[in-house]
Amino acid sequence: MREIACDFGTESALVGVYTDAKKLNKDLTRRPVVLLLNSGLLPNVGPYRLYVRLARHFSSIGFKSFRFDISGIGDSERRSDSLARDKQQIEDVKAAMDYLQSRFNDQKFVVMGICTGADNAHRAMLADTRIVGAVGIDGYYFKTPRYYVNEVVHRKIPQLFKKRAWKSRLSNISEYVDKIRKKTSIPNFESITIPFRWTVPDRKRTALEYQTFIDRDASNLCIFTGSWPYNYKDQHVDAFPEITFGDNIQILYLEDADHVFPLSQDRQLLTDSISTWLVDRFVASANRS
């Protein structure tokens, strides 16, 4: 396995690490390179070095990868142009593919990211047909009727019978009453809340984008954790009843995992699941055809 530090893009302002494939299979040139996109403001090592672990494991099963920092994050410099941030991100992904195509003759790509990285992966695949697949971890979510039923049945109602929850409520009421009696001001929590900068897009527009992927035979692996607004495996498919996804989408629901995968067993499960999908979609299916 080789790991190569690379600088690329305009004025070589972008930085990444190319991990070559350990297994030199005869069909290696047909396999896509996995692009690992930043999660929020985290650098290209990923949360708890997740991207480093993924890149090296992908190498062991015959897939090359490239983990890099988009402009203004980690080791990559800020862009000097006036492009809007969302357009900058997609241009950075395209610059990475252009660089890998020129230097290593890589032709096809799978994009992968967590949260905002999943958003960028989706938008990048929409913008460039060299991308044949996307892995979104805690990406777009849409609440369905069953989601709300599950929230009531499995979360709200059980809380009514938890002694600790009632103690907490009573304690909050008691503190509130004490503040009123002492005529102290009650903090305005809304005024100090930091807004979440990424918002879920329009469902109808997203449905059209998924149909575009299906028409191109591009693949999606959508992974959700229990820390996301997601509470059953098929929630994402149920949100788009007008679409027949077929083999173009696979859903993985890791109910017990945290958003950034701090536990080693959850990181291992995630790694194994993505690897299985890569092999099944881009090796086994190619051999069957």
CATH of the domain at 93: 3.40.50.1820
Average pLDDT, the chain: 88
Helix (H), strand (E), coil (C) string for the chain: CCEEEEEECHHHCEEEEEECCCCCCCCHHHCCEEEECCCCCCCCCCHHHHHHHHHHHHHHCCCCEEEEECCCCCCCCCCCCCCCHHHHHHHHHHHHHHHHHHHHCCCCEEEEEECHHHHHHHHHHHHCCCEEEEEEECCCCCCCHHHHHHHHHHHHHHHHCCHHHHHHHHHHHHHHHHHHHHCCCCCCHHHHCCCCCCCCCCHHHHHHHHHHHHHCCCEEEEEEECCCCCCCCCHHHHCCCCCCCHHHEEEEEECCCCCCCCCHHHHHHHHHHHHHHHHHHHHHHHHHC
End-to-end CA distance of the chain: 29
For the cut 60, the answer to whether the pLDDT of residue 66 exceeds it is: yes
Helix (H), strand (E), coil (C) string for 109-127: EEEEEECHHHHHHHHHHHH
Q: Are residues 21 and 111 in the same domain?
A: yes
Domain, as residue range, for 154: 145-192
For the cut 80, the answer to whether the pLDDT of residue 176 exceeds it is: no
Q: Are residues 255 and 155 in the same domain?
A: no
For the cut 80, the answer to whether the pLDDT of residue 24 exceeds it is: no
Q: What pLDDT does 190 receive?
A: 43
Q: Are residues 219 and 186 in the same domain?
A: no
Q: Are residues 252 and 282 in the same domain?
A: yes
Q: Are residues 284 and 252 in the same domain?
A: yes
For the cut 70, the answer to whether the pLDDT of residue 183 exceeds it is: no
Q: Are residues 283 and 207 in the same domain?
A: yes
Name the residue with tokens 């229990």. Answer: 226
Name the residue with tokens 């149909």. Answer: 211
Q: What pLDDT does 178 receive?
A: 64
State the total domains in the chain: 2
Q: What is the pLDDT of residues 112-157, one digit of tens each?
A: 999 999 999 999 999 999 999 999 999 999 999 999 999 988 676 6
Q: Are residues 134 and 249 in the same domain?
A: yes
- Cα distances (Å, whole numbers) of residue 17 to 9, 51, 69, 74, 76: 14, 11, 9, 12, 12
Q: Are residues 228 and 277 in the same domain?
A: yes
- Cα distances (Å, whole numbers) of residue 65 to 143, 198, 280: 33, 26, 17
Q: Are residues 185 and 216 in the same domain?
A: no
Q: Are residues 131 and 211 in the same domain?
A: yes
For the cut 80, the answer to whether the pLDDT of residue 169 exceeds it is: no
Rg (CA), the chain: 22
For the cut 60, the answer to whether the pLDDT of residue 189 exceeds it is: no
Is residue 89 within 8 Å of residue 72, measured between CB atoms? Answer: no
Final residue in a domain of this structure, among 153, 173, 192: 192
Q: Are residues 73 and 160 in the same domain?
A: no
pLDDT band at 22 (very low <50, low <70, confident <90, very high): confident
Mean pLDDT of 187-195: 41
Give the residue from 253, 248, 221 showing the smallest Cα distance to 235: 253
Give, in degrees to the nearest 5, the angle at Cα 107 between 11 and 1.
Answer: 80
Mean pLDDT of 20-47: 85
Q: What pLDDT does 81 receive?
A: 85
Contacts of 192 (CB under 8 A, 6+ apart): none
For the cut 90, the answer to whether the pLDDT of residue 158 exceeds it is: no
For the cut 90, the answer to whether the pLDDT of residue 194 exceeds it is: no
Q: Are residues 82 and 34 in the same domain?
A: yes
pLDDT band at 37 (very low <50, low <70, confident <90, very high): very high
Higher pLDDT, 183 or 175: 175
